[in-house]
């Protein structure tokens, strides 16, 4: 399908992003899967190529692109090789960066943003808790004032980049009496006494992306580590979740597109009963349906991406894109596994790993059921 989202600048950037991926990611994916983490050298190289600061102004070392279509291009190129690498780098540059750019003081920006751009400071964001899941308003991690400092206690789980991040944005309750209005955001940095990480979590998929539990036991945070205003954390998260969700939709779709393209080539070469398996009517019809669903979803996601570029994307539209793209991604990749036959169940085949990687997209960034709840409320239900 011809896409009208991009211009010549985006096309040139895509070539640069593709070259980075082919040079730095593709040859090392197997290693990243085995060790359950992406080498820091990848982050440093991405920094040298100007790929980590797309959301960050030039005065702090970023690209200052101010055009989400560049984020889209980078995510698509990463996802065509490995969805977990896209997730790890995306949390850093696509999710955390806007919090710091929008909410931090000048001193805080000087402390963190240049290192984020170079890859020397790797970041994550800690919202989810063991007991809360998608219910961010119910979080139990708390921070209590002690003079000018804050004392942080609690735990987080399923945190992408959690095992290796140098700085993590943590949501904590600072006023239990105010419900969602009593949540604040803090920067917790490696080496702070009382901050500990659990093991790398043993996930079904997304293996190159390190994911961990985080534990906070009387962690003393200086006032300079409060991000934004006290009590505004829930609002800050709600304001920025649409970007996280449209980013998830972009990645979901690019991941599915890549696996579909590989499978299409496979069914043209693989033979059974004297002909290519793609020639069988059932398979031909199935692939025709999948191609159409991908193109229709691409048009929808591209439209919403442009709305986001213009600052017009609503939370409900982002929820629609997130849940629908995750469902389509899983449907497409599951069908591609079936088309590969027994080989589709072998982890040395990328389609099998993609199948495992895709399943979490119905869960993270707000489960698909929560997305439908948001949409239903908009319908007045």
Q: Which of 77, 244, 317, 329 is catalytic?
A: 244
E strands, 137-230, are 142-146, 149-160, 167-173, 183-189, 195-200, 211-221, 226-227
> How would DSSP label each residue in 14-28?
HHHHHHHIIIIIGGG
CA distances from 67 to 7, 94, 236 (A): 12, 12, 21
Token pair 């489960």 in the structure block, residue: 367
To the query of whether residue 244 is one of the catalytic residues in this protein, the response is: yes
Spatial separation of the C-alpha atoms in residues 62 and 328, rounded to whole Å: 34
> Is residue 126 within 8 Å of residue 99, measured between CB atoms?
no
Which residues are bridge partners to 172 per DSSP?
184
CA diameter of the chain: 79
**Long-range Cβ contacts of 139-143 (<8 Å, 24+ apart):** 139/171, 139/172, 139/173, 139/183, 140/173, 141/170, 141/171, 141/172, 141/173, 141/216, 142/172, 142/173, 142/174, 142/176, 143/172, 143/173, 143/174, 143/184, 143/186, 143/221
Active site residues: 244
């Amino acid at each position: 399908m011809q896409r009208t989202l991009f211009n010549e600048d985006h096309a040139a950037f895509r070539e640069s992003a593709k070259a980075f991926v082919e040079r730095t990611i593709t040859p090392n994916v197997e290693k990243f899967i085995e060790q359950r983490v992406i080498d820091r050298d990848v982050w440093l190289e991405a920094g040298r190529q100007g790929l980590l600061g797309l959301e960050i102004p030039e005065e702090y070392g970023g690209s200052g692109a101010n055009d989400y279509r560049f984020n889209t291009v980078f995510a698509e190129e990463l996802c065509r090789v490995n969805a977990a690498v896209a997730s790890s780098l995306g949390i850093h540059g696509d999710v955390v960066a806007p919090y710091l750019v929008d909410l931090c003081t000048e001193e805080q920006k000087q402390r963190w943003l240049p290192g984020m751009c170079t890859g020397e400071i790797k970041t994550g964001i800690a919202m989810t808790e063991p007991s809360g899941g998608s219910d961010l308003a119910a979080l139990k991690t708390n921070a209590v004032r002690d003079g000018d400092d804050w004392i942080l206690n609690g735990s987080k789980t399923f945190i992408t980049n959690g095992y290796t991040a140098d700085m993590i944005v943590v949501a904590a309750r600072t006023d239990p009496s105010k419900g969602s209005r009593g949540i604040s955001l803090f920067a917790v940095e490696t080496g702070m006494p009382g901050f500990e990480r659990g093991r790398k979590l043993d996930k079904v998929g997304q293996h190159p992306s390190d994911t961990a539990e985080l534990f906070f036991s009387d962690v003393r945070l200086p006032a300079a580590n409060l991000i934004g205003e006290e009590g505004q954390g829930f609002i800050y998260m709600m304001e920025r979740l649409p970007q996280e969700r449209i980013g998830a939709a972009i990645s979901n779709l690019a991941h599915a597109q890549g696996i579909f393209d590989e499978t299409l080539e496979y069914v043209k070469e693989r033979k059974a009963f004297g002909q290519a398996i793609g020639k069988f009517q059932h398979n031909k019809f199935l692939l025709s349906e999948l191609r159409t669903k991908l193109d229709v979803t691409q048009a929808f996601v591209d439209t919403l991406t442009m709305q986001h570029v213009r600052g017009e994307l609503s939370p409900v539209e982002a929820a629609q894109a997130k849940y629908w793209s995750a469902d389509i991604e899983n449907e497409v990749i599951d069908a591609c596994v079936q088309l590969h036959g027994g080989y589709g169940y072998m982890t040395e085949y990328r389609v099998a790993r993609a199948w495992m990687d895709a399943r979490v997209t119905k869960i993270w960034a707000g489960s698909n059921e929560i997305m439908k709840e948001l949409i239903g409320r908009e319908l007045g239900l």
